[in-house]
Amino acid sequence: MSKDQVTIEIAAPPSEVWDVVGDFGAVGEFLSGIDTFRLEGDDRVIGMFGMEIRERLLARDEAERTITYSVVDGVPVEHHQATLAVAPAGTGSVVTWSFEVAPDEMAPIFADTYAKGLKSLQARFD
């Protein structure tokens, strides 16, 4: 199993960034490459890369500003869990998207997708 993370600084207060990141349904507003998106209870279904990917919300911590979810269908993984975290950084924020995935060969794909997602999130606050 591979573990990795991508991080970006955003010139906005953590509370404002968390308003977006902490909303499980808001990923459709900033993750690049999404063709379709819908919420179904604690699942979000994302159409991208010619696939329909189902992700399930596992935990959301308002005080710590973290949200954790798992890919449960649509991607050839044995295991996946990811956490988005928002923390203060000077007058702005730092957002970290950490993940673990198996098989290891999937790690670069997730890292690239998440890095692009964070760049899109950052642009939202520019």
Q: What is the CATH number of the domain that holds 44?
A: 3.30.530.20
β-pairing verdict for 51-61 and 36-40: unpaired
User: Given a cut of 90, is residue 50 above it in pLDDT?
Assistant: no
Burial per residue of 34-64, b for 16 or more beta-carbon CB atoms within 10 angstroms, e otherwise: beebeeeeeebebebeeeebebbbeeeeeee
Q: What is the pLDDT of residue 8?
A: 98
Average pLDDT over residues 78-101: 97
Q: Which domain holds residue 100?
A: 2-125
Domain count, the chain: 1
Q: Which of 17-31, 60-74, 90-104 has the lowest mean pLDDT?
A: 17-31
Please tell me the distance from the alpha carbon of residue 88 to that of residue 96, in angstroms, as a whole number. 11
Residue carrying structure tokens 């010619």: 50
In the Cβ-directed half-sphere of 29, how many Cα atoms lie within 13 Å?
A: 14
Q: What is the pLDDT of residue 27?
A: 86
Average pLDDT over residues 90-118: 96
* Confidence grade of residue 67 (pLDDT, cut at 50, 70, 90): very high
